[in-house]
Amino acid sequence: MANAIEVRNVSKIFKLYHEQYHTLKERLIFLRRSKRFEEFRALDDVSFEVEEGTTFGLIGANGSGKSTMLKLMAGILRPTSGEVMVKGRIGALLEVGAGFHPDLTGRQNVYLNGSILGFSTKEINHKFDEIVSFAGMENFIDNPVRNYSSGMYIRLGFAVAVHMDPDILLIDEVIAVGDEAFQAKCMERIRKFQEDGKTILIVTHAVDGIRDLCSRAALLSTGHLAAYGNPSEVIRQYRNKVSKTHTGEKIDHLTAVDIEKLTLTDPGGNPQPFFTAGDPMTVWAELVTHTPVEDPVFSVNIFDAAGQHIFGTNTALRYMGTDLAPGPARLRIDFDMVPMQEGTFTMAVGIHSRDGKTVYAATDGNTSFQMRSLNDEPGRLMLPCRFSMDAPAIKRATG
Amino acid sequence: MSTVQDASVLVSKPSSPALSQRILRLWTYRGLLLNLIRRDLRVRYKESALGFIWSLLNPATYLAIFYVVFVIILPAGIPSFPVFLLSGLLPWTLFQNSMMAATSSVVGGAPLIKRVAFPREVLPLAAIGANIFHFFLQMIVLLGFMLIFGYGFLSRYTVLFIPALIVEVLLLTGLGLMVSSVTVYLRDMTHFMELATLFWFWMTPVVYPPYLVYDKLTRHHIPFKLALLNPMTPVVMAFQRAFYKTPSPTTVDHNGVVTYHHILVNQFHLSWYFEVLGLIALVSVALIWIGFHVFAKGEGNFAEEL
């Protein structure tokens, strides 16, 4: 199969000026000191290929050069040496809504933005209604963008970008935009791209999503291609790298254990699409231990959509302990009931040492679940409570 | 490895793509050029109550000021002075405003350049395009003036208007590409261009008759061709020739005083204008070629330098 993207021996060097002399006076005064910059090698001899019609994950920590790589592929930057070949029209979801002018209306900006992305007025005419309804902006499209909320702004920019039928879609990690309904729409759109046989390249440091979505992946580490191939293997290498770079925080991340899968079920083990406030919940974590771990602590934490810590506990706090032998294992955590009212929550499970300085495994916080309320009671938690009254008139208790 | 080389294959290398490829890519982005021009125009007049009328007020104000100065206070002896003035001032305004807009176009487009890939040349070109639109708006003032005062301007020279405008746009394209990319590395360019265009304005026969230049030079046995080193001189002269009806060389007023009017250079006929404009067109095409190369040299680092 042909390649949609070929990156051949690409290096990118940035000049980091200590002080940048942009005016004539400065140039003249500092003529002899004109070399006051350091060279920073953002990418060093990187090569990889992305096959047509596949989804590719590019991962790396902050500063690994993955954003530079993305900009090279999008054609915003040029390599210092080597070359990037891109076959087909590119749709880049890097900074959506780039080029929106605040004083122009949404309609005018859709045309402007579309043409910046390389589309003709005819093509935009054709897609216009679809774009507006995807963004859910029918009522505001003729208002100046200046009056839009940031969510509306991004929604419209995203809608323009994904409707332009690119052959290759470049997605930056910050595509989690808008409310849940809009995010679901975006994911649906990305899946449709996959079904249509388009090439997708996702850049992220939230690696757990990559495993399911991508068929191949590459890992960048301080500008080098550190791993390339099977996503699971690349993610493992990434975890290794992270452990090395995070020593400053005195937390070692090891790859002794992998949490392969996290499932939320009822106590009978049946996976649930959602939970009702007050329902019991069982969390299953499928573990694969690579090297024996002595006295690990298992932790579980629940966060709400805003990242607020709702609940957390671990086996150390509960005075429990066990060792992990190599091979698969299944961890079960039973909640007698989850009291949260309507909303989306994240379940995180981790394994670390008793002193907390070594992390053996952690989910990346991508396991979310929905809570539903049983009735219209306000508040964030459903606490079991009962009304009763000691009076002769009414003798009826509510349960 | 794919060896197919069709238009959809984009290869990003350290060096700029070949000129032909760049122009081809520019052509596919013509919609963006139009939309950027439209944006410029819309944004400029968005908040103003008078809107496009401001464009008309600009030459009208010039007209009033120069009329007071050169007809009443300091009579220059130019019949139908407003027509003479506007026919030279409008192409000059197009030149000056386009140069200033092009100078800051790439720096002003920084947010776009850092985020989206598109042929960067559209930025200076759009800046020039918006000013061409203003030029046509301002022509309304001139045409309106001539119609109201029954000034019959149509002559066989009127056709010069078209090649003169084309040559000016070619010239602007070449210079615009150069200055816009240089400004990224030398921000002083904006200040420099302000002074340069001021100097350039007085070096061009806009408010004074071209004949004056011709006369002074020939008297000192300097060939008039020297004045044509300023390419805006023949462009402005062609515009003047197109709209300004050359008065007969001598008039006799009611006192019997004979005045010699030498305003345009009457020795130059249509063929002379075509010849000179053709020459400048060639020079401009060369400037565009150089402009593309200067632009290409700077362009690779725009996203980093801005």
Express each pLDDT in B256-277 by its tens digit. Answer: 665 656 788 877 888 999 999 9
Segment of A274-283, A298-307, A378-387, B296-305 carrying the highest mean pLDDT? A274-283
A263 near B CB under 8 A: no
Q: Do A116 and B112 touch (CB under 8 A)?
A: yes
Residue B290, CA distances (Å) to B169, B178, B295 in order? 16, 8, 8
CA A212 from chain center: how many Å?
A: 13
pLDDT at residue A248 greater than cutoff 50: no
Express each pLDDT in A269-324 by its tens digit. Answer: 888 888 888 889 999 988 888 888 888 888 898 888 766 778 888 887 777 777 88
Per-residue pLDDT at A254: 63
Average pLDDT, chain A: 80
Q: What is the least distance, in Å, from the CA of A12 to any CA of chain B?
A: 9
What's the Rg (C-alpha) of chain A?
A: 26
Candidate from A22, A111, A118 with C-beta closest to B118: A118
The pTM (predicted TM-score) of the whole model is 0.72
A326 near B CB under 8 A: no
Residues from chain B that touch A119, judged by Cβ atoms under 8 A, are: 31
Per-residue pLDDT at B204: 94
Strand partners, A168: A90, A199
Express each pLDDT in B11-41 by its tens digit. Answer: 788 778 888 888 888 888 888 899 889 888 8
Express each pLDDT in B61-95 by its tens digit. Answer: 887 887 788 778 877 677 788 888 889 999 999 99
| Angle at CA of residue A373, ends A371 and A375, nearest 5° | 175
Q: What is the least distance, in Å, from the CA of B36 to any CA of chain A?
A: 7
Mean pLDDT of A59-67: 81
Q: What is the least distance, in Å, from the CA of A53 to any CA of chain B?
A: 15
Q: Which carries the bigger pLDDT value, residue A307 or residue A70?
A: A70
Lowest mean pLDDT among A138-147, A194-203, A367-376, B127-136: A367-376
Lowest mean pLDDT among A195-204, B162-171, B286-295: A195-204
Per-residue pLDDT at B234: 94
> Looking at the domain A3-238, which fold is it?
Rossmann fold (3.40.50)
State the Cα–Cα distance between residues B259 and B249, nearest whole angstrom: 8
CATH number of A249-372: 2.70.50.60
Kindly give the pairing relationship between strand A343-352 and strand A327-335. unpaired
Lowest mean pLDDT among A22-31, A244-253, B50-59, B73-82: A244-253
Express each pLDDT in A127-149 by its tens digit. Answer: 999 999 988 888 888 888 888 88
Express each pLDDT in B193-214 by its tens digit. Answer: 999 999 999 999 998 888 888 8
pLDDT at residue B225 greater than cutoff 90: no
Per-residue pLDDT at B150: 80
Mean pLDDT of B152-158: 83
Residues from chain A that touch B104, judged by Cβ atoms under 8 A, are: none
ipTM: 0.75
Q: Do B112 and A167 touch (CB under 8 A)?
A: no
State the Cα–Cα distance between residues B200 and B232, nearest whole angstrom: 9
Q: Which residues contact B273 (CB under 8 A, 6 or more apart)?
A: B157, B160, B163, B164, B234, B237, B238, B241
Helix axes B81-103, B53-67, angle to 10 degrees: 130
Q: Where are the domains of chain A?
A: 3-238, 249-372
pLDDT at residue B222 greater than cutoff 90: no
Per-residue pLDDT at A232: 80
Q: Which residues contact A208 (CB under 8 A, 6 or more apart)?
A: A235, A363, A364, A366
User: Residues 93-112, chain A: which have Cβ within 8 Å of B?
Assistant: 94-95, 98-99, 101, 103-104, 108, 111-112
Q: What is the least distance, in Å, from the CA of A83 to any CA of chain B?
A: 5
Q: Do A119 and B43 touch (CB under 8 A)?
A: no
